Amino acid sequence: MLFKQQPLLTQKLFVLGSLAIGSVLYLVARVGTLDRLQPICPIERRLPPPEHEQIPLRTLQFKRGLLHELRKGNATKEQIRLHNLLQQLPQAIIIGVRKGGTRALLEMLNLHPAVVKASQEIHFFDNDQNYARGIEWYREKMPFSFPHQITIEKSPAYFITEEVPERIFKMNSSIKLLVIVREPTIRAVSDYTQVLEGKERKNKTYHKFEKLAVDSGTCEVNTKYKAVRTSIYTKHLERWLKYFPVDQFHIVDGDRLIADPLPELQLVERFLNLPSRISQYNLYFNATRGFYCLRFNIVFNKCLAGSKGRTHPEVDPSVVTKLQKFFHPFNQKFFQITGRAFNWP
């Protein structure tokens, strides 16, 4: 009825308009369907521009799939060329501290789609023989990555090795440096426990922690003992500060990374200028291990190796107190320099 009452021109316009709107709706629906029908990570598809905010889900899929293959050396030169994959020098390094939780930090950061990790400790800057092999040797140790991703490696010996700050500075003076620390006495005992286990594996005997940590002659803390020296964080940091400004460092609370990792990881994401992508979904507490483990997706989970989380030996409480008192002034200085204070005794 309504249609019949309209003049001819209006009727024609109505029909044409309906056709146009219909076509547009059809195209929108079709494109949407096609997009969904595409494989998540089609091998021949170019990636979006190198902006962290645009990291698509398919990058994550790609990372877990093809990149995994790349690391095993299974990628063809064609795939590397097609995806503009690079072996990039690290833009951030976890420089220490030994037994601070460096492995957990690296693995957890690797949950982020814009991060790739060097799986092994490379020991490029602290080992003279490796360093003499040159920067291209170091680059070849890095995983393949997209141009917009950042590469991270960890070698905890870097933090305490004299030559390292200058060498890293020569490679990249604006590199971001991550230092993960634990309460110094606990860290020292953890360090001791690792060495003790190595000795026991070789059926060798080893001194008790108390004997190593305290000088039996003076009854003072034995600062020649490496596990003690490593825990004097401020001494090592001061050497680094001759080369890098303090805002190029980010201090991670290793004790909190054990107890509640997500907030620490979010601070690191911010420091690395990455959008916040690691979520509680990616971290779940494994009661058997007594630690948080990693969840990449519904099928792929992993906990750190059994060499992490060893049972520490009981230490004489008077030695613990002595060490805590010894570390106290160094800790205060460390807090003052870094602007990050912890609830250590």
Ligand X SMILES: Nc1ncnc2c1ncn2[C@@H]1O[C@H](COP(=O)(O)OS(=O)(=O)O)[C@@H](OP(=O)(O)O)[C@H]1O
Q: Is 98 in the site for ligand X (CB under 6 A)?
A: yes
Q: Is 117 in the site for ligand X (CB under 6 A)?
A: no
Query: Is 134 assigned a ligand-binding role in the annotation?
Result: no
Binding mask 30-69 for ligand X (x = CB under 6 A): ----------------------------------------
Query: Is 17 assigned a ligand-binding role in the annotation?
Result: no
Q: Which of 41, 67, 95, 104 binds ligand X (CB under 6 A)?
A: 104
SS3 132: helix
**Least distance from ligand X to the Cβ atom of residue 310, Å:** 4
Q: How many residues does the chain have?
A: 345
**Least distance from ligand X to the Cβ atom of residue 294, Å:** 8
Q: Is 292 in the site for ligand X (CB under 6 A)?
A: yes
In DSSP terms, which residues pair with 253 in a beta bridge?
181
User: Does the annotation count 170 as an active-site position?
Assistant: no
CA angle 64, 70, 73 (to 5 degrees): 145
Q: Is 170 in the site for ligand X (CB under 6 A)?
A: no
Q: Is 250 in the site for ligand X (CB under 6 A)?
A: no
Distance CA 245, CA 236 (A): 14
Q: Which of 60, 87, 92, 100 binds ligand X (CB under 6 A)?
A: 100
Residue 295 DSSP one-character state: E
Q: Is 310 in the site for ligand X (CB under 6 A)?
A: yes
Q: Which of 80, 258, 267, 337 binds ligand X (CB under 6 A)?
A: 258
Distance CA 301, CA 277 (A): 17
Q: Give yes or no for a contact between 294 and 108, defined as CB atoms under 8 angstroms apart.
A: yes
**Least distance from ligand X to the Cβ atom of residue 30, Å:** 46
Question: Stretches 164-172, 217-225, 262-270, 308-316: which one binds ligand X (CB under 6 A)?
Answer: 308-316
Size of the site for ligand X (CB under 6 A): 18
Q: Is 231 in the site for ligand X (CB under 6 A)?
A: no
Q: Is 257 in the site for ligand X (CB under 6 A)?
A: yes
Query: Is 231 assigned a ligand-binding role in the annotation?
Result: no
Q: Is 291 in the site for ligand X (CB under 6 A)?
A: yes
Q: Is 227 in the site for ligand X (CB under 6 A)?
A: no
Q: Where are the alpha helices (DSSP H) in the chain?
A: 2-5, 8-37, 57-64, 66-71, 77-82, 102-109, 128-132, 135-140, 164-171, 184-201, 209-213, 226-230, 233-240, 254-259, 261-271, 317-338
Out of 63, 99, 117, 322, which one is annotated catalytic?
99
Nearer to ligand X, 186 or 214 (CB): 186
Q: Give yes or no for a contact between 193 and 310, defined as CB atoms under 8 angstroms apart.
A: yes
Query: Is 308 assigned a ligand-binding role in the annotation?
Result: yes
- Label residues 108-139 b or e (16+ Cβ within 10 Å = b): bbbbbbbbbbbeebbbbbbeeebbeeeeeebe
Distance CA 75, CA 79 (A): 6
Distance CA 58, CA 65 (A): 10
Query: Is 225 assigned a ligand-binding role in the annotation?
Result: no
Comparing CA positions, the residue from 185, 341, 311, 182 lying closest to residue 255 is 182
In DSSP terms, which residues pair with 292 in a beta bridge?
285
Q: Is 99 in the site for ligand X (CB under 6 A)?
A: yes
Distance CA 111, CA 197 (A): 30
Nearer to ligand X, 249 or 291 (CB): 291
Q: Is 156 in the site for ligand X (CB under 6 A)?
A: yes
Query: Is 151 assigned a ligand-binding role in the annotation?
Result: no
- Which residues are at the interface with ligand X (CB under 6 A)? 98-104, 156, 190, 194, 257-258, 291-292, 304, 308-310
Q: Binding site residues for 3'-phosphoadenylyl sulfate, as ranges?
A: 99-103, 182, 190, 292, 308-312
Which residues are part of the catalytic machinery?
Answer: 99
